[in-house]
Amino acid sequence: MILVTSRTASSRLPLKALKKINGLMTIEICIMRAKITGEPVIVCTTDLKEDDIIEVIAKCNNVLCHRGSEKDIIARYWGAFQEFGCEKAVTYQADNLMMDFELLNLGLEQLERDDFINEPEGIVQGAFSMGFTRDALREAYETKKSNDTEMIWEFFKCKPKPLEINDPVYFDDIRMSLDYEEDFEFFQKVFERFDYTAPLREVIPNIKDLAHINFFRKQDWFNNQKKVIAGYR
């Protein structure tokens, strides 16, 4: 299963899921890329009224949808596992418009032997996120002490194994995540050159001249992550 995580709320870039590039909403681009894996796709959004539109978009794109807690992402994922009988899944964060469908399939293969996987150090930001088995997610759900689990890796009991990637093309100083206006400008430029179906291994070598547009935002993103994690401890 591919879990596409999306909501309309965003403090840094309001309504980013609904912003359009070449006539497609960014959430639609994510859904379409996730579908290329050939695996079932579940859009996981919140149960807030404002995210009714996300469910509508999921249905219009012929994928499943699960709605759950806004802040308790682990509970939302567990609800999706329960509703649709998932045994393992990789996540596709809708911030990461060009998350790689080849790496998503690679992650599902690795989950045959590992319970919890994440992105390896040095990978292009936004190329891959994480994956987990039903057992690992159940344990995280049953043992979590908070109903705010946005940084979900903090709540898994098993240590993550990095996604096993042999191709060095995926390791570069490029930021492919949508959090700031500069990120949106970056993706507009990328999609001037490539269709949404392009594999990331073909995209990365041909967009290095665009990295300056938003790479400096990586530190801002990292600082925000540290602030949220500090609130758990």
Low-confidence ranges of the chain (pLDDT < 50): 232
Task: Look up the CATH number of the domain holding residue 43.
Answer: 3.90.550.10
Read off the pLDDT of residues 171-181 as tens digits, 9 standing for 90 and up: 999 999 999 99
**Phi and psi based region of residue 22 (left: phi greater than 0; alpha: psi -120 to 50; beta: remaining):** left
What 181-187 contacts at long range (C-beta under 8 Å, 24+ apart), as own/partner pairs, is 181/13, 182/213, 182/214, 182/216, 182/217, 183/13, 183/214, 183/217, 184/13, 184/16, 184/19, 185/213, 185/214, 186/210, 186/213, 186/214, 187/21, 187/26, 187/97, 187/98
Task: Please state, as a whole number, how many other Cβ atoms lie within 10 Å of the Cβ of residue 125.
Answer: 21
Q: What is the Cα–Cα distance from 185 to 193, expressed in whole angstroms?
A: 13
| pLDDT one-digit tens code per residue, 131-162 | 999 999 999 999 999 999 988 999 999 999 99
The reported pLDDT for the residue numbered 232 is 45
Q: Tell me the C-alpha to C-alpha distance, in Å, between residue 198 and each of 10, 50, 176, 187, 204.
A: 27, 31, 14, 13, 10
DSSP bridge pairs for 22: none
Select from 12, 9, 32 the least CA-distant residue to 22.
32
The 8-class DSSP code of residue 125 comes to B
Total domains in the fold of the chain = 1
Distance CA 31, CA 20 (A): 14
Which three-class secondary structure state does DSSP give residue 175?
strand
* Structural domain containing residue 168: 2-230
pTM of the model: 0.92
Q: Cα-atom radius of gyration of the chain, to the nearest Å?
A: 17
Q: Where are the alpha helices (DSSP H) in 72-231?
A: 73-84, 101-110, 134-143, 181-193, 200-203, 217-230
